[in-house]
Amino acid sequence: MFLERKLRKADRVRKRRTRVRIDEMGQLNGIRNVAGWPGTWFHRRLSVRGLGPVCQVAYRRTARVTTTEVGTIRVTADRDIRVWPTRELGFVDGPGSLIGESKVLVELKFPVTMPALFEQLIEDFKLEPAPVSKFRLGINELYGLETPAPGNPGTGNRGETDA
């Protein structure tokens, strides 16, 4: 399992991700963590901000990666995006609520300059860039809340395309 924090500055998204064993998830419930546990930084952020689970999001992802003249590039396509309400750590079973029945979220990742291959992909499939977050889509689906990022009237991360 990954504990992850995304931070957006201008048009760049930075991610901090730590792998922990799934049976260690319960450590996030405690007031104090076990010294030396790799997820301590994440637990500290949850505690300081008073954060806890509000939903579970799942989706089917197709990912492709290759190396080009501009460096390593990656494209992901997420579909069958579903959300479940929850206030507990753990995983919820059942069908969940489907978000955007015919939507596929495509994310194009590249180092600095958009490669010609992605420009062609955008043109061929008439992709329209839009800020989007699967978490925020889920919150809106479950609770009818729009949750714009601080200082941003949009609802998500740049670089993802709602196609």
pTM, two decimal places = 0.76
Q: Domain containing 95: what range?
A: 53-163
Q: Would you state the pLDDT for residue 57?
A: 95
Q: Report the length, in residues, of the chain.
A: 163
Residue 32 sits in the same domain as residue 68: no
| Measured torsion, CA atoms of residues 116, 118, 124, 128, in degrees rounded to the nearest 10 | -130
Residue 5 sits in the same domain as residue 75: no
The neighbouring-strand residues paired with 117 are: none
Taking residues 30-57, what's their average pLDDT?
A: 87
Handedness of CA 127, 133, 93, 144 (dihedral sign): negative
Phi-psi bin for 46: left (phi > 0), alpha (psi -120 to 50), beta? alpha
Residue 8 sits in the same domain as residue 83: no
Q: Does the pLDDT at position 159 exceed 80?
A: no
